[in-house]
Structure formats: C-alpha cells, structure tokens
Amino acid sequence: MTQTLTLKDRDLFWPPADELTEAAERIRARLGDWPPTHAPWRICLTAPDEPNGGDLIVIADAQQHGEQVARWLVRGAGVIEAAEDKATLHLGGEKYRLEGHLAEDWVAALAAFLDCGFDPHDALVLALAWRDGDETRADDAFPADLSHFPRLAGLPDALAQAFPRCPDRLGLYPVLPTAEWVERVVGFGVKTVQLRRKSSEPAEELKREIARCVAVGRQHDAQVFINDHWQAALEAGAYGVHLGQEDVHTADLAALAAGGVRLGLSTHGFYEILRALHFRPSYIALGAVFPTTTKVMPTAPQGLRRLARYVRLLDGVVPLVAIGGIDLQVLPDVLATGVGCAAVVRAVTEAADPAAAVSALQQGFTR
C-alpha cells in the first residue's frame, strides 16, 4: 500500500487542476510503496507570474518564449518543451532531450513520479514510458517494458557494433586503489577487479601501474578494468575500462572497441541508463546504492528499491553492477534485487583481514 496519497494537500499544478490531480493520484497509487518527496515542485501549464525554483513550466516551443525562458531558468525553474512525440527539459544549465510517446496522461504521470522522489529528468523519462490506462492493469504499474521508454536525442552516433559483452553475473567486483592491491586481491582468487587511481601521478608511473594490473590479470585469468585512464589502458592491452557519463564524449570509443576492450559505464538513474544503453557497453554500473565516502557522488543514494527497478527493467539486456556503500552486511539485500554483480571498495581495502573479507563476500554470491 502506498505510504501517502496527499497530493491534494498541496499545489501540484498551476493553474489548479482537479482532474489532473485526481489522475496523478490514481497513477501514484499504482506505482508501489515509495516514500513521498519533500521537494517543492509544481507543474505549471501556464507560466506563473512569479516562478520559483521548484516550478516545471510546460510550453510547446521554447523559441517563442526566448526571453521568458531565460528569466525562468535564472530563477531556478525548469522548462519542459513538449510537442507531438518530443519533450525537452531545460534545467540547471542542461538540456534533456527525449523522443517518444506522449500519453494523454503524461503530465499526471510526471506528477506521480515526481511525488515518488525522482529528479525531474528521471521523472520525465518515466512519464514518457507511461501508457494511458497502465494504472488499471496491475497493482504495480511501474514502467518495466524497455520498448516503451523514450529515446535520447542529440547524442553522438553509437558504434555499429556493440562492445564485447561481459558475463551476465560478474560476481564480486573489488575496486582498488593501486596495482599492489590488484595483485593482492587477484591472488585471493577474485576474477573481476578494477584499478581506480584518482591521484595526479606522473604519466609514466600511471602506465607502470596499469601494466602491472594487466599482467596479473593475464597471469590469473582475471578480468581487470581500468577506471578513467582509457588511453593508457588501451596501450597496455587491458581487458576493460570503466568510464563515467561525461567521459563518453571525450574517450575514443571506436579505438577501444577496435582494440577489443570491454566498456563499463556508470549510471545514476533512468536518464543516464538510457544514455549508457545508447553506447552499447559491456556492462552498466548502477549507483550509488548506499552513501559512500570513496568519491563525491552527483546524486543522492539510489537505495534498494530503485536498484530493484533497474534490474527488472534491464535484466537480460546488459550485465549489471551494483556499486556504492556495499559491504558484507548489506550484500544479501543487494543480491536479492537480482543483480549479478556487486562492486565493493572499503569492504576490502579497509578490512582488518582482506583475505577473509574477500572469502566472506565471495560466499555471499553462492548462497
């Protein structure tokens, strides 16, 4: 049972629209048990006199409202340009361009997904995945058919051939800070690891570190991924590289594919999942599942409920990796979502006995 149906207790739409509110409540009731958001959003079908930072102003053509749009954005509001089968969200200096079906109830669906706590760009993706009447077909009508999801416009062309696919269930995936750690953990029998070096070390030292990792991977028949440093990884003949969302625009993906390098991509929500799928990677990382101190995250923790939704949507489509704040205590809950791989950092590198920690984590995948 949904925790809250308090949509009528606040201004969801401008101008107020009882029918839209009722439709949003019907949809929200079928989306599952999501904690209500406290974000002060409002969907404006007519521009308000004084937009605020929570407003999403829906218009048909941004060019016709050029100066107004600029003022709205400066005030912190978002603008959704929606017409025919296209919707573009202008927010925070970014443009999120989507192409797909706009159901008659798409605005009500957008309100329902915003109330579930999804950021505007992810809520808009889900609203375009919505189909009129979905709320009548199941107790849980959350979008789970990838063919219904919108396409992202304005992306670079994808490669003609997908990157080599990783095993569907990669298992334990330690992310490690040095080649010494990689050698140590691979020696414990781990078959998938990642070198993530964030220091500004000299290029030659970095290349030596990567070469050591590649060598130990070949020696132990392990799959070693290199984070970020794709050029050095390619030169060293690494098994794979792991990149962030921003890196796909600067890395030479064609050269990586030609070199037979596997590609893993980070994602932090539905919009970024669609962007990652466009580039046909070897696996997609989903996170951060829990709070983490190992890096500054661009989004709030996703949590197990969202992870389960991602797995349900993408199972069989691409191998998946859960990442972020995962340790032995929460590993059973993570694996219960159906994900076949969990990346860990501190659960290994800060363990009093790393060998014992690795053994316990590996056993978690066999239960």
Residue 294 labeled ligand binder: yes
Q: Give the strand order in the sheet containing 78-83.
A: 13-14, 42-44, 55-59, 78-83, 86-91, 94-99, 151-152
Taking Cα atoms as reference points, which of 277, 274, 283 lies closest to residue 319?
283
Residue 10 labeled ligand binder: no
Is residue 2 a contact partner of residue 29, using CB atoms and an 8 Å limit? yes
Six-digit token string for 237: 């003949």
| Three-state DSSP class for residue 193 | strand
Is residue 267 a contact partner of residue 285, using CB atoms and an 8 Å limit? yes
d(CA 312, CA 178): 34
Residue 198 labeled ligand binder: yes
Cα torsion 186, 189, 194, 199: sign: negative
Residue 266 labeled ligand binder: yes
HSE at residue 9, side-chain half, CA atoms within 13 A, is 6
Omega within 30 of 0 (cis) for the link into 15: yes
Residue 247 labeled ligand binder: yes
Angle at 109 between CA 24 and CA 297, to 5 degrees: 115
β-bridge mates for residue 44, sequence order: 14, 57
Six-digit token string for 112: 């329902």
Six-digit token string for 61: 């053509």
Residue 359 labeled ligand binder: no
Residue 362 labeled ligand binder: no
Residue 49 labeled ligand binder: no
Residue 197 labeled ligand binder: yes
Residue 187 labeled ligand binder: no
Residue 292 labeled ligand binder: yes
- C-alpha 321, offset from chain centre: 11
Largest CA distance in the chain: 67
d(CA 90, CA 97): 9
Residue 364 labeled ligand binder: no
Residue 53 labeled ligand binder: no
What are the CA-CA distances from residue 296 to residues 198, 291, 301 (Å)?
12, 10, 11
Residue 227 labeled ligand binder: yes
| Annotated binding-site ranges | 194-198, 227-228, 247, 266, 292-295, 325
The annotation places the binding site for Mg(2+) at 228, 247
